[in-house]
Chains A and B, each alone.
Chain A
């Protein structure tokens, strides 16, 4: 039994040290706020550091996959240390609201700054940056006059010419959800089948991979988020820049509902222990500095209309965005996924 005894004492010792070590954080008087973030560290930490510098409030951060963070919040229940949840799509914010994890916020600053379509009407969540998912085409091989809408991509002329990533990806799920809202489920399923029939290859890799494949000649049309193209255009790697320069953006459905967009956004956790600090952080994330930063550092569109987008994003021009209620993206997510399964979209 001695081995077991030794093991147990190590285990207990370890646990006690860690527990006391960790709960220390919560008890001292330092001003702080605890954040669960689905934005990766390098795309949020610089802003948080600036917030700390400005306000003296320390930000504790856990990053992770949004679904898993939601799962963690649910399990931790009222004892969760988290004050704020940050996600990269509206669907998950909607889900957090549905399972009663978040609480509405009243803030004049937020209401004034963020256009009403990019925040929840009762203040359950707030959009912080916009992510558009337009069509991109290879300049040498496609005349933009041939392009019009997402719906028109099922035309046989695009046979073996379209690259898009897997249906497991949330951006595709949200896009299809927006089409279900616009055109109904049956029509969208037909569309998905037609699109799959036009795929140049079975879906693989991420958005950047689709852009590279198109640049290299494997396909002519790509559906991808704009900030991936922006990232490639400003890359240190000359071959990436060269590839990205072969493509241009086409804003689809401009005569109709507009291009599909999603928001990255945040919500305040129910009974948050540092609620005031969390609201301060939320307001900071909509400030001029922060909004500029989204555009500069990651090529996302600021959620505020009055912020300059920077040279690159300006160059892509103005576009009409689908004014769809962002909540719907979450609502129709499961339907969208099933539909893509049936259409054989891998």
Chain B
């Protein structure tokens, strides 16, 4: 182990970074200490129990759903051979490109009481209202299904990477010991992949907690909807911050569970010898079941809603798609790319610090820096706005009094503020991914590197980055797609005359013009697909390269 002294420049740098990045969350939470009068009492006697119950049920449902779908799909596509496997391997990532609020809008459009599906049923069977039972889409269960359908890829992606990276030896040993596919899965592969699965799950659950669009549209009272009502409707920032603090309790619980599980499962493979995986050949009924399972997930999570969006788009295309629309596309893509690269660099710097200086201080700082993920975008936005405006106005005051010159607003209302909000909000995504990739690199490899006289940065460059490339790509992609979909922070922090696809889609959808919102929504989805495919290719290729490399 390296020196534990946390006062060296690198750990110190991490601490400073963590302080800066957690500033928005801290600013909001600081409002907790502002007295909120009797609002808190009002909340706890009326709506708070609902917020807690609904948030918990939502998390529980999404956890079960994403684990079932994500892990099963990952295992089937990496370890089993069945018709269509190659296609599903990457296609199952597609729902990731679908923002939760958009999938909620589209399914509501289709399945609501007044939607085409129920209409048709009523026509066919001559039913009236109340004659028949139909699942209520705008309900807690509906929200669970919507969120599960778009969030399972987090679990799928990370567990798939873990399954792919598992040394073939381990699985071979399992097989020589007479374990069949099921036993190998339960007793070897699953426990080995647990850190990655839980990392994916905690991302999905944090997204669930931060979701505003879906629960708001479905009329479910959760912490996020409560924060907005209290802040803006009752005009109490303090009580809203207290609710946000309540939300953070959930987040911390998630973080602790995730950490704990990782400590329990510090498995390292001692061999990096990879061979092409010999997949379990599925035949007959089993192959059919695997195929149908993947197909249903893909249809529900992507194909159906995308087709609905497409049909709406065709209806309105000539009025909505113009030069302005192309500008939206360019704005969205370049902003997302810039934020994704920055987040990746920060994540590498932090995850590496955590590994090199395994003290409480550094790991605490890294956790704190990633805290923003579960905080709703609009809350983060206000947390960014307050300190940035303060800095701007202070500089302006100084300049005015000393040089008689007004600097105006330097940071507020620029893309710097927007990008900073993205980093605060999404750093956890790249951090989790890079970190779970790093956990799979044995400490003995670091030690070997050090015995060659490598300095820490050399270990990073020469050993880790090549070995991590799949995780790094994953991190890049996740943040890219997340930023593309991000709405509330962009909406409120952006400069004049600057729009993104998400802003456009939201504005029209919030005015209940779903069809007109469709082209922008579809563009987000399509723009999100391209990196998904790239990523999928890279993961496969990096593994092949590594195989070639290892054989020398």
* Residue pair B416, A14 in contact (C-beta under 8 Å): yes
* Residue pair B138, A204 in contact (C-beta under 8 Å): yes
Closest-by-CB residue of B relative to A16 is B416
* Residue pair A81, B409 in contact (C-beta under 8 Å): yes
B72: A residues at CB distance < 8 A = none
* Residue pair A14, B491 in contact (C-beta under 8 Å): no
Q: Counting CB contacts under 8 A, is A187 at the interface?
A: no
* Residue pair A334, B13 in contact (C-beta under 8 Å): no
B386: A residues at CB distance < 8 A = 75
The CA-CA distance from A7 to B408 in the complex, in Å, is 27
User: Which of A67, A76, A218 is B412 in contact with, Cβ under 8 Å?
Assistant: A76
Smallest CB separation, A201 vs chain B (Å): 8
Q: Counting CB contacts under 8 A, is A257 at the interface?
A: no
* Residue pair A346, B221 in contact (C-beta under 8 Å): yes
* Interface residue stretch chosen among B61-69, B77-85, B493-501: B493-501
Closest-by-CB residue of A relative to B492 is A68
* Residue pair B413, A173 in contact (C-beta under 8 Å): no
Smallest CB separation, B259 vs chain A (Å): 25
The CA-CA distance from A77 to B390 in the complex, in Å, is 9
> Knowing A7-B349, A95-B235, A216-B118 touch, does A62 contact B219 (C-beta < 8 A)?
no
> Knowing A40-B507, A67-B232, A68-B378 touch, does A216 contact B119 (C-beta < 8 A)?
yes
User: Which of B218, B511, B516 is A204 in contact with, Cβ under 8 Å?
Assistant: B218
Central interface residue in A6, A209, A239, by most chain B CB within 10 Å? A209
User: Which of A76, A207, A341 is B409 in contact with, Cβ under 8 Å?
Assistant: A76
Q: Counting CB contacts under 8 A, is B512 at the interface?
A: yes
B13: A residues at CB distance < 8 A = 1, 4
Q: Chain B interface secondary structure, helix, strand, loop or mixed?
A: helix
* Residue pair B218, A62 in contact (C-beta under 8 Å): no
User: Which of A4, A19, A341 is B414 in contact with, Cβ under 8 Å?
Assistant: A19
The CA-CA distance from A295 to B61 in the complex, in Å, is 45
> Knowing A41-B507, A218-B129 touch, does A18 contact B416 (C-beta < 8 A)?
yes
Closest-by-CB residue of B relative to A2 is B457
* Residue pair B416, A19 in contact (C-beta under 8 Å): yes
* Residue pair A14, B392 in contact (C-beta under 8 Å): no
B175: A residues at CB distance < 8 A = none
* Interface residue stretch chosen among A20-28, A107-115, A178-186, A259-267: A20-28
B216: A residues at CB distance < 8 A = 168
Q: Counting CB contacts under 8 A, is B410 at the interface?
A: yes
* Residue pair B42, A338 in contact (C-beta under 8 Å): yes
The CA-CA distance from A1 to B406 in the complex, in Å, is 36
> Knowing A213-B113, A334-B233 touch, does A60 contact B219 (C-beta < 8 A)?
no
Q: Counting CB contacts under 8 A, is A317 at the interface?
A: no
User: Which of A1, A4, A41, A166 is B219 in contact with, Cβ under 8 Å?
Assistant: A166
A165: B residues at CB distance < 8 A = 219
Smallest CB separation, B469 vs chain A (Å): 16
User: Which of B128, B342, B496 is A25 in contact with, Cβ under 8 Å?
Assistant: B496
Chain A 256-286 residues near chain B, CB threshold 8 A: none
* Residue pair A18, B234 in contact (C-beta under 8 Å): no
A62: B residues at CB distance < 8 A = 413, 494-498
Q: Counting CB contacts under 8 A, is B515 at the interface?
A: yes
Q: Counting CB contacts under 8 A, is B47 at the interface?
A: yes
Closest-by-CB residue of B relative to A58 is B497
Chain B 43-98 residues near chain A, CB threshold 8 A: 43, 46-47
Q: Counting CB contacts under 8 A, is B544 at the interface?
A: no
* Residue pair A77, B349 in contact (C-beta under 8 Å): no
Smallest CB separation, A284 vs chain B (Å): 19
The CA-CA distance from A213 to B221 in the complex, in Å, is 21
| Per-position 1/0 for B134-178, Cβ under 8 A of A | 000010000000000000000000000000000000000000000
The CA-CA distance from A122 to B315 in the complex, in Å, is 47
Chain A 292-346 residues near chain B, CB threshold 8 A: 333-334, 337-338, 341-342, 346
Q: Counting CB contacts under 8 A, is A71 at the interface?
A: yes
User: Which of A10, A60, A206, A207 is B342 in contact with, Cβ under 8 Å?
Assistant: A10
Closest-by-CB residue of B relative to A338 is B42
Task: Supply 16 A–B pairs (Cβ within 8 Å), ascending by A.
Answer: A41-B504, A42-B507, A60-B497, A65-B491, A68-B492, A72-B385, A72-B412, A75-B390, A170-B233, A205-B219, A213-B112, A213-B113, A216-B118, A236-B515, A337-B234, A342-B46
Closest 10 CB pairs of A and B: A212-B114, A75-B389, A204-B219, A67-B232, A217-B129, A60-B496, A216-B114, A40-B507, A208-B512, A204-B138
Chain B interface residues (CB < 8 Å from chain A): 9-10, 13, 42-43, 46-47, 108, 112-114, 116, 118-119, 128-129, 138, 216-219, 221, 225, 228-229, 231-236, 315-316, 338, 341-342, 345-346, 348-349, 378, 381-382, 385-386, 388-390, 392-393, 396, 406, 408-416, 419, 457, 460, 488, 491-492, 494-499, 503-504, 507-508, 510-513, 515-516
Q: A10-B345, A62-B497 are in contact. List 19 more A-B contacts (CB 8 A).
A: A7-B349, A40-B507, A41-B504, A62-B496, A62-B498, A71-B492, A72-B385, A72-B413, A76-B389, A79-B392, A79-B396, A79-B406, A168-B225, A168-B228, A205-B112, A208-B512, A209-B108, A209-B114, A237-B315
